[in-house]
């Protein structure tokens, strides 16, 4: 009888713990994650550039940042190439992929003046991550940069508008951006929302700026570069470009 009571007692003690563990949802947005072959090749190429030194500016993000190399190249060459910039934008990336890259060579041996962050829209697809989780992912990236490059200032950009008009996903991205902005201290970490520059007065996003309602065309990159130029110059300690 005593043994039965002992077993019953153990079950009562263990079951709540099992339910607690099973009920916990791990935030994938803050868990560093590797991707696939072409991504590894690009990661290695960025690391080789970093090893050369002379890095003053980082553009960190997903395909929207990646696009500075093609659609936005004209304005990259004007605004960022002269500032010894390195494009750390990887198409398809989410916050967890950026975290992995920052742990695997991207920040090795450098101390840039500024890191600009544009990430999070890929985390917002469907039920993949909540706004809170995306915000935590962006904050984790900032903390990673601060730990590895303590002299580097950070400029978090609000996740760009997505879709032709207001939607659940666009609102999720807006909320995530605001949550991430809480880490900004106005000294080493700054936050800037330039989304209204891409929208009409009624809040619509047109194909004239983002043909697929997500990625800027050349005009979109011009708007982006000019909208952040005064802040970039301020944080890097140089003069704004005309």
**Within-domain flag for 155:** yes
- Show Cβ contacts of residue 140 under 8 Å, excluding neighbours closer than 6 positions: 29, 30, 95, 99
Q: Where are the alpha helices (DSSP H) in the chain?
A: 2-23, 37-51, 63-66, 73-79, 95-103, 131-148, 168-180, 218-236
Residue 3 catalytic? Answer: no
Question: Is residue 4's pLDDT more than 60?
Answer: no
Question: Is residue 213's pLDDT more than 90?
Answer: yes
pTM: 0.89
Question: Is residue 1's pLDDT more than 80?
Answer: no
Mean local confidence (pLDDT), 36-56? 97
- Look up the CATH number of the domain holding residue 205: 3.40.50.1110
3-state secondary structure of 61: strand
Pairwise CA distance, residues 239 & 67, whole Å? 25
Mean local confidence (pLDDT), 36-59? 97
Find tokens 């560093």 and name the residue: 32
- The pLDDT value recorded for residue 23 is 53
**Within-domain flag for 6:** no
Per annotation, catalytic residue among 63, 91, 104, 193: 63
Residue 9 catalytic? Answer: no
Per annotation, catalytic residue among 3, 36, 202, 212: 212
Question: Is residue 7's pLDDT more than 70?
Answer: no
Question: Is residue 125's pLDDT more than 50?
Answer: yes
Pairwise CA distance, residues 38 & 36, whole Å? 6
- The pLDDT value recorded for residue 24 is 64
Instruction: Output 94 or 26, whichever has higher pLDDT.
Output: 94
- The pLDDT value recorded for residue 25 is 74
Secondary element (H or E) of residue 115: strand 114-118
Residue 34 catalytic? Answer: no
Contact 173, 121 (CB under 8 A): yes
CB-based burial label for 68 (10 Å; 0-12, 13-18, 19+):
buried
Contact 68, 76 (CB under 8 A): yes
**Within-domain flag for 59:** yes
**Within-domain flag for 18:** no
Domain of residue 214: give its range.
Answer: 27-236
**Within-domain flag for 241:** no
- The pLDDT value recorded for residue 242 is 77
Question: Is residue 97's pLDDT more than 70?
Answer: yes
Number of domains into which the chain is organized:
1
Could you give phi then psi for residue 86, rounded to 5 degrees? -125, 125
- The pLDDT value recorded for residue 93 is 98
Question: Rounded to whole angstroms, what are the CA distances from 86 to 52, 113, 180, 188?
Answer: 11, 12, 23, 20
Lowest-pLDDT range, 10-14, 50-54, 83-87, 129-133? 10-14
Pairwise CA distance, residues 124 & 70, whole Å? 25
Mean local confidence (pLDDT), 109-125? 98
Mean local confidence (pLDDT), 138-162? 98
**Within-domain flag for 7:** no
Mean of the per-residue pLDDT values of the chain: 92
Question: Is residue 216's pLDDT more than 70?
Answer: yes
**Within-domain flag for 33:** yes
**Within-domain flag for 73:** yes
Per annotation, catalytic residue among 66, 97, 106, 215: 215
């Amino acid at each position: 009888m005593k043994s039965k009571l002992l077993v019953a007692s153990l079950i009562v003690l263990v079951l709540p713990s099992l339910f607690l563990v099973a009920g916990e949802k791990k935030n994938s947005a803050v868990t560093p994650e590797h991707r696939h072959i072409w991504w590894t090749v690009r990661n290695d190429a960025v690391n080789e550039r970093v090893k050369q030194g002379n890095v003053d500016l980082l553009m960190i993000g997903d395909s929207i940042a990646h696009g500075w190399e093609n659609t936005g190249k004209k304005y990259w060459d004007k605004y960022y190439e002269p500032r010894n910039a390195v494009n750390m934008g990887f198409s398809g990336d989410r916050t967890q992929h950026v975290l992995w890259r920052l742990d695997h060579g991207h920040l090795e041996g450098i101390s840039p003046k500024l890191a600009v962050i544009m990430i999070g829209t890929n985390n917002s697809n469907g039920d993949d991550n909540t706004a809170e989780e995306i915000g935590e992912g962006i904050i984790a990236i900032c903390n990673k940069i601060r730990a590895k490059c303590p002299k580097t200032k950070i400029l978090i950009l609000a996740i760009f508008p997505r879709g032709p008009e207001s939607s659940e996903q666009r609102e999720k991205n807006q909320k995530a951006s605001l949550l991430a902005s809480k880490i900004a201290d106005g000294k080493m970490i700054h936050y800037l929302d330039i989304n209204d520059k891409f929208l009409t007065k009624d809040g619509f996003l047109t194909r004239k700026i983002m043909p697929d309602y997500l990625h800027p065309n050349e005009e979109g990159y011009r708007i982006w570069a000019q909208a952040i130029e005064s802040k970039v110059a301020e944080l890097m300690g140089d003069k704004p470009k005309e």
